[in-house]
Amino acid sequence: MSVRRKRFRIEEVNFGSTPMPAEIADAGTMPMHREIMMELRAIRTQMAAPQRNAVSDQVSATADEQVAEAQALLATYRAQIEQCEKLKIELDLIHDAITRTKQEIATLHGKSFDGDEMAKVNGELGAVVGGTEEATQQILAAAEAIDNASTAIGKVTSVDQQKQLLEDIQDNVVAIFEACNFQDLTGQRISKVMTTMKFIENHIITMMDIWGGVDAIKAHAPPIVDDRVGDAKLLNGPMLDGDIGHASQDDIDAMFG
């Protein structure tokens, strides 16, 4: 008669309270029991170790990718902030330049280009032209009278007539001296105009400096094209002492052979 052995808890889990078959209840079931216990130990070891499987690895990889994307977006955001800061600085400079230019234009308009000031400038220049023309006519008339008197004085024999002609010559000489005083008034009037022009020039130079100076303005200036035709193209007016292209009297004589 075989001895009935004690049933283990694992056996009760697997087979319940039913009697075990004879082929399992005998001593031949011991190797299976050992395998089950080894499997249980392996499961316990695996449960004690950190759980890593395909799903956790995939989740970890996805998290790493998201972190990398977030870092890339943060770097892009910082670069955009830097560009915006630089753009703001440039816009502030442009705004300041425009404000200063408006101030210069307002100053010019208020003190130079308003109706009263420009009327004064035009009036002074008109007076210069009128005074010069009047003095020129007076000088020419006196010179012509002197020429006529000097021609007539050699033809008369009367002392009284000669004396009268000499007095006429003297009066015309005085008239020429008086007419030459126009240059004093002309100088004063032109000085007023030059003061206004200098004021305008200074503020224009200031505006040019605001936008980078003369060289920067010249880079945007359109090319100068002489569109004059006919005689207008030949009339350049008198040259200044430092201008290039002065013609001497010898050059003029050579032109006429």
Percentage with pLDDT > 70 across the chain: 67
Whole-model pTM? 0.49
Whether residue 239 is predicted with pLDDT greater than 60 in this model: the reply is yes
- How confident is the model over 140-193, as pLDDT tens digits? 999 999 999 888 888 887 888 888 888 999 999 999 998 888 888 888 888 888
Give φ, ψ of 189 to 5 degrees. Answer: -65, -45
Q: How far is CA 134 from CA 97, 144, 179, in A?
A: 49, 15, 8
Q: Report the pLDDT value the prediction gives residue 172, as an integer from 0 to 100.
A: 92
The most confident of the ranges 37-41, 107-111, 141-145, 214-218 is 141-145
Q: Specify the higher pLDDT residue, 160 or 118.
A: 160
Report whether 182 contacts 132 (CB < 8 A). yes
Calpha distance 181→135 (Å, rounded): 8
> What is the percent of the chain with per-residue pLDDT over 90, rounded to a whole number?
8
Q: Which of the 8 DSSP states describes residue 184?
A: H
Cα–Cα distance for residue pair 111/125, rounded to 1 Å: 18
Burial of 142 (0-12, 13-18, 19+ CB in 10 A): buried
When the pLDDT of each residue in the chain is averaged and rounded to a whole number, the result is: 75
Instruction: Give the CA radius of gyration of the chain.
Output: 57
Residue 241 corresponds to which tokens in the numbers above?
């002492």
Nearest one of 116, 124, 111 to 200, comparing CA atoms: 111
> In a 10 Å sphere around its CB, with 0-12 CB exposed, 13-18 middle and 19+ buried, how is residue 204 labelled?
middle
